[in-house]
Structure 1
Amino acid sequence: MSRAIWKGAISFGLVNIPVSLKTASRSNTLDLDMLDKRDMAPIGYQRINKHTGKTIDNAHIVKGYAYEKDEYVVLSDEDFRQANVEATQTVDIVSFVDAGSIPPYYFETPYYLEPDKRGERGYALLHETMRKTGRAAVALVVLRNRQHLAALLPLGKALVLNTMRFADEVLPVEDLSLPGGKKHAASAREVEMATKLVEDMTEEWAPEQFHDTYREDLLKVIHAKIKAGKTHLLTPASDEPATPSRGAKVIDMMTLLKQSIGKRGKGAEPRRAAADDEAEEDTGDMPRKSARRAPTKAGKAGKAGKAGKATGGKAPGKKDATKKASAAKKPTTKKSPAKTSATKKPAARKAAAKKAVAKKAVAKKASQPAPARKAA
């Protein structure tokens, strides 16, 4: 736990509760030094006397208020304390308000309040009362020579003091150009979809799941440079142009809301269903593709024989091949059993008659003598 940066008391009516103030936050920013790129020497900052140009030791530095140009009133640490001794030693509670009524942009820095000796009972009493009533204590406190507005809030078993901005330090929201009127008003359907998205994204507050990923990525770059021995080399500027800013365009809010809902965990079921539908469509094409397999040698020979008989021994032409291919693609319809048996016998008879005629023609041709060759 951090050390105490301030000791005093909480002034609660006529009750004084001795407490110590401890920091409740820390900074994880990377400690980067300024360097001279010519020789990598660190650059330091010096406090210089503007009249002589010489550096000044801290022992010779005092604080002063310029009431006129080049005319100052010098203030010592004791002057700051004597200005209001009570204010510098107490967290003075001036009122209680509903904890949810304080806008978050008023808050600045959190601190833990820890009870000192003989302050445990009063601390527990104030904590339990604030927890039970749901109130926040509004107080004034002086830290580091400056008075702060502050809010005391119960957190678990502890009391947290959050320094706040004064009202004149917060810029008025009226200075902003904000959307209004029917032109920018959301439709009932858009609000319904947006509400669904909010409910879809709602979860328990778990701050530990968030961390500074950019800091981690930057540390990876630093460690990679150390490992590669590039401890003094500067990375040249990238040749890639900066990403251009997008121009204004009309936004289809409903489409974006629907897509956003589909990307969340509860929208996974529709995505899986859509994937299954696509799979079914793909498998539906499979029988048609497998039906076009390459024919076997026996099948080729049978087809060639039939083609030869149909065309008088000639190879089928391009048109015949195209007709056969288109005929193969056309689905065949089943004929009723009665119709098939009625038309099957005449077709068989015709085929048998054609075979007999072909055999006779072959026999007649074979019996005729071969023509005599002409003399050379």
Structure 2
Amino acid sequence: MSRRVIWKGAISFGLVHIPVALHAATSEQGLDFDWLDKRSMDPVGYKRVNKRTGREVARENIVKGIAYEEGQYVVLSQEEIAAAYPKTTQTIEIEAFVAATDIPFVYLQRPYYIAPINKAAKVYALLREILHKSGKVGIAKVVIQTKQHLALLAPVGPALVLELLRWGDEVRSWDELDLPPAGSKAAGLTAKELQMAKQLVSEMSQRWQAEDFTDTFKEQILKLVEEKIKAGDTAAVSEVETASADTAGAKIYDLTEMLQRSLNKSPGKAAKPRSAKAPASKRTSAAKGKPSPKRSTA
């Protein structure tokens, strides 16, 4: 796993802050077919082209618009768009704890590993263990690269994982689908059919091992690529260099004091930390509405 830090900040629940760093938990392993000019083997890129005239459009002549009906747009300036960006707080702000089984799989989008920093191992372990024992997960909001996300904070083995969630309006309803009614009786299933299906599932059951399942298409393509390399059937293409960036971190409160203050705060009122002990969270350039050009988005 890459140790490159994507984001630094803190997990916050009650008045407890846990300084953490965000790491990618997955990597794209699919095949990337680049476009090449067969005459010269030069890379072929994308151009900003006017769809009506077919001519390339200069960057300064491009504006952004939102379609509100067929052929009608509202044009927004860069200043208006920048003002609407969520402010970067560098905090994974937990708003509630819910049962892990309450979150449908369809909402899960992208996982990230969270690792403690700045001597936060103990409070990190406390949150991880209490989530393990309670069967709960934290529901939080976090801003990454100027974009606000709904997220789920869950314990997985020794790690805390931040799973970005889809917003409620991004998940389509199944009401318009022609689905069989819920329940075996309503669906017309017989006891014999259920028993046979149960037996089949039992016979095919095994312990989950990710390495048991592979991408056969990718394997066949890579085998073909290897054969062509051995045969000398290759072409030289110039590579494009990429750069990475880093962000700032956060401080930690005294654990016992913050837990006690969180428990003592009045219900229904947002607790405010004392000014003398306010967390020194740092903002990135994203707070100005200007995303960094070379960082991958979540």
TM-score category (smaller protein): 0.5 to 0.7
Is the 8 Å Cα contact of residues 138 and 149 (structure 1) preserved in structure 2? yes
Q: Does 1:121 align with 2:125?
A: no
Cα pair distance change 1:144/1:224, threshold 3 Å: same
Percent identity reads 42
Question: Deviation at 1:77?
Answer: 10
1:100 Cα offset (Å) = 1.5
Residue type at the aligned position of 2:78: V
Partner SS, residue 114 of structure 2: strand
Q: Which residue of 1 aligns with 2:158?
A: 157
The letter for the 2-side match of 1:130 is L
Secondary structure in 2 matching 1:108? strand
Corresponding residue for 2:280? none
Give 5+ residue unaligned stretches, structure 1: 233-376
**Measured at CA, do residues 221 and 85 of structure 1 come closer, stay the same or move farther in structure 2, by a change above 3 Å?**
closer
Alpha carbons 1:64, 1:75 under 8 Å: kept: no
Partner Cα distance (2:14, 2:21) in 1: 19
The residue correspondences of 1:292-311 to structure 2 (distance < 5 A) are: none
Residue in 1 that maps onto 2:197? 194
Return the alpha-carbon distance in structure 1 between the equivalents of residues 84 and 209 of structure 2.
Answer: 42
Tell me the secondary structure at the aligned position of residue 118 of structure 1: coil
User: CA separation of 1:74/1:119 partners in 2, compared to 1, >3 Å: closer, same or farther?
Assistant: same
Match of 1:102 in 2: 103
**TM superposition shift of 1:143:** 1.5
Q: Compared with structure 1, are the counterparts of its residues 222 and 55 closer, same or farther at alpha carbon in structure 2 (3 Å cutoff)? A: farther
Structure 2 counterpart of 1:186, one-letter code = L
- 1:14 and 1:78 map into 2 onto residues whose CA distance is 30
Which one-letter code corresponds to 1:23 in the other structure?
A
Amino acid in structure 1 at the alignment position of 2:26: S
Q: 1:26 to 1:85 in 2, by over 3 A?
A: closer
Which residue in the other structure is 1:219 paired with?
222
The structural deviation recorded for 1:202 is: 1.4
Aligned-partner Cα distance in 2 for 1:124–1:182: 46
User: 1:17–1:119: 8 Å Cα contact kept in structure 2?
Assistant: yes
How far is the alpha carbon of 1:144 from its aligned partner? 2.1
Secondary structure at 1:42 match in 2: coil
Give the whole-Å Cα distance in 2 for the aligned partners of 1:27 and 1:190: 40
Residues 61 and 10 of structure 1: is their aligned pair in 2 closer, same or farther, counting only changes over 3 Å?
farther
Q: For residues 278-307 of structure 1, what are the alpha-carbon distances to aligned partners after superposition, in whole Å with 9 as ceiling and x for unaligned?
A: xxxxxxxxxxxxxxxxxxxxxxxxxxxxxx
1:116, distance to aligned residue in structure 2 (A): 1.3
Instruction: Report the secondary structure of 2:78's partner residue.
Output: strand
Q: Does structure 2 conserve the Cα–Cα contact (< 8 Å) formed by 1:66 and 1:73? A: no
Structure-to-structure mapping, 1:170-209, within 5 angstroms? 170-180=171-181, 185-209=188-212
Alignment of 1:1-376 (within 5 A): 1-37=2-38, 40-47=41-48, 53=56, 56=59, 69=73, 71-75=75-79, 79=83, 83-86=86-89, 89-180=90-181, 185-228=188-231, 231=234
Q: What is the CA deviation profile of residues 338-376 of structure 1, one whole-angstrom value per residue up to 9, with x for unaligned ones?
A: xxxxxxxxxxxxxxxxxxxxxxxxxxxxxxxxxxxxxxx
Distance in structure 1 (CA, Å) of the matches to 2:112 and 2:15: 24
The alignment covers a number of residue pairs equal to 226
- Corresponding residue number in structure 2 for 1:317: none
Contact 1:62 1:76 in 2 (8 A): no
Superimposed CA distance per residue, residues 241-260 of structure 1 (whole angstroms, 9 cap, x where no aligned partner)? xxxxxxxxxxxxxxxxxxxx
**Aligned mates of 1:66, 1:201 — CA distance in 2:** 50
TM-score (norm 2): 0.66
Q: Under a length normalisation based on structure 1, what TM-score does the superposition of the two structures give?
A: 0.53
Q: Does structure 1 retain, via aligned residues, the 8 Å contact 2:88–2:143?
A: no
Q: Distance in 1 between matches of 2:126 and 2:186?
A: 53
Segments of structure 2 that go 5 or more residues without pairing to the other structure are 236-298
Of structures 1 and 2, the larger Rg is shown by 1
User: How far apart in 2 are the matches of 1:133 and 1:24?
Assistant: 24
The structural deviation recorded for 1:118 is 3.5
- CA deviations 1:47-76 (Å, max 9, x no partner) are 4699984655xxx79985669947432149
Cα gap change, 1:63/1:136 in structure 2, threshold over 3 Å: closer, same or farther? farther
Distance 1:78 1:32 in 2: 34
Greater CA deviation, 112-121 or 176-185?
176-185
CA contact (8 A) 2:63 2:76 kept: no
Q: In angstroms, what is the RMSD of aligned CA positions?
A: 3.2
**Once the 2 structures are TM-superposed, how far is the Cα of residue 169 of structure 1 from its aligned partner?**
0.5
Q: CA–CA distance in 2 between the matches of 1:46 and 1:176?
A: 39
Looking at structure 1, the residues matched to 58 and 223 of structure 2 have their Cα atoms a distance apart, in angstroms, of 39
For the Cα contact (< 8 Å) 1:65–1:74, is it kept in 2? no
Kept in 2: contact 1:112–1:158 (CA 8 A): yes
CA distance in 2, matches of 1:28, 1:172: 31
Deviation at 1:190, TM superposition (A): 1.1
